[in-house]
Amino acid sequence: MPCGTAELSPGGRGRPTVPVSSCWKNEFSAAFPAETLANAGIASIVRRENIPTGGTKMNQNELIAEMRNEALAGWNEGGIPIGGLLVRRGEIVARGHNRRIQSGDPVLHGEIDTLRNAGRHPASFYRECVIYTSLSPCVMCTGAILLYKIPEVVVGEEVNFRGETDLLRARGVKVTILDDPELIELMARYIRENPAAWNEDIAE
């Protein structure tokens, strides 16, 4: 699709979806006014089709935007909207999102999908990484972070779910909580509309 045009991606489970575009957010806004995004119910989060992985150094705001992109990818696939990135020296080396529903894999949380997508690396590799996750990590994902001695975690929000950030801090991991309003809104809506799937995800 040419830059400057866009279309609404098909929604899963009858839910409205936000527009999908290969253009940057400001170009997209010209095609779809703010009220269209508001009617979609996901504020202004936009999923881009052409997304960088590796070879491009990014600042914090750009990395946070890419974490949102992964959460939104899960939403648009009919899954749980939790996204993750593995970042080394400012470059994204892997990305992923919760795909439990899509794949039928009970352990494929966003952080686990991200680590799987990173492939095999020596232990020293992970000690230079930061993992970004749009929702506070559960005990399983926290265990993976600790196992690979990833020294820093950036959490999009923990309003909707308070994971194991205290445990991470107790083990010497630097934890930054963003409480990003768009991620809070996205996750809250999913939980309201899909309580059974959410409870299954957190084993309750």
First to last CA, the chain: 43
Cα separation, 84 vs 109, whole angstroms: 9
Selected residue with higher pLDDT from 56 and 130: 130
Task: Report the percentage of the chain scoring pLDDT > 70.
Answer: 73
- 60-80 pLDDT, tens digit per residue, is 999 999 999 999 999 999 999
Q: Which of these, 49, 109, 52, 53, lies nearest to 79 by C-alpha position?
A: 109
So which residues are the catalytic ones?
111
Q: Which of these, 67, 59, 147, lies nearest to 110 by C-alpha position?
A: 67
Across 185-197, average pLDDT: 96
- 98-117 pLDDT, tens digit per residue, is 999 999 999 999 999 999 99
pTM: 0.75
Q: Say whether pLDDT at 15 is over 60.
A: no
Q: Are 85 and 94 in contact (CB under 8 A)?
A: yes
Domains and CATH numbers, the chain: 1-50 (no CATH), 52-201 (3.40.140.10)
Strand blocks (E) in 9-151: 19-21, 47-48, 83-88, 91-97, 129-133
Q: Say whether pLDDT at 8 is over 70.
A: no
Q: Which of these, 67, 103, 68, lies nearest to 86 by C-alpha position?
A: 67
